[in-house]
Amino acid sequence: MTKILGAESTTDEVLDGIDLSGKRVLVTGVSAGLGVETARALATHGAEVVGAARDLDKARRVTQAIGAAGKGSLALIELDLASLASVRAAADALVNAARPFDLVIANAGVMACPKGTTKDGFETQFGTNHLGHFVLVNRIASLLKSGSRLVNLSSAGHRYSDVNLDDPNFERTPYTEFGAYGRSKTANVLFAVEFDR
């Protein structure tokens, strides 16, 4: 039977009838929004979820019911995508644990924030939304099982901005919050396409 899903479909409708037991999934950004709901739905359907968040205390508070709600599980790891040292530390901990993933969902991000920089000096949205995930995914690529999936969350924002590698930090072009966001989302799309090759 074919399911018809659309923009109004819930995670539970999408996963209805699917048993994810035995599947291991990494989800970034599990302290709010889509990340929490994604982790909940996957764990409810049996997945072993590793949830990454910058603020572990907040993530613990908002996800405390997830493990008890389903047949899967949720373990949390610290990951600040605005710090490449944090990204490397989280990735190295995952690699050292040597437990492969069936699915990686690069969900975490920031949107339309005032001009600023990451700890490494990159424009905040490009550094967090794209570069952090780029380093994470490439560093844990050895953990992706054959046939595994990478889901890079983007948005319609990618339709309104290109990626300007000549001026990624808006040093010579005017900064706009949504322009910078669009650049980061375009980078997400381009990375996903290239990673799939």
d(CA 186, CA 170): 16
Nearest to 189 by CA among 133, 144, 145: 133
| Catalytic position from the list 18, 55, 175, 193 | 175
Residue 65 has φ and ψ, to the nearest 5°, of -85, -10
Residue 175 appears among annotated catalytic residues:
yes
Which residues make beta-bridge pairs with 194?
none
Residue type at position 2: T
What is the distance between the alpha carbons of residues 158 and 87, in angstroms, rounded to a whole number?
Answer: 24
Q: Is the dihedral of CA 119, 121, 124, 129 positive or negative?
A: negative
Tokens for 142, please give them: 């050895």
Instruction: Select from 74, 78, 95 the least CA-distant residue to 140.
Output: 95
List residues with catalytic annotation: 175
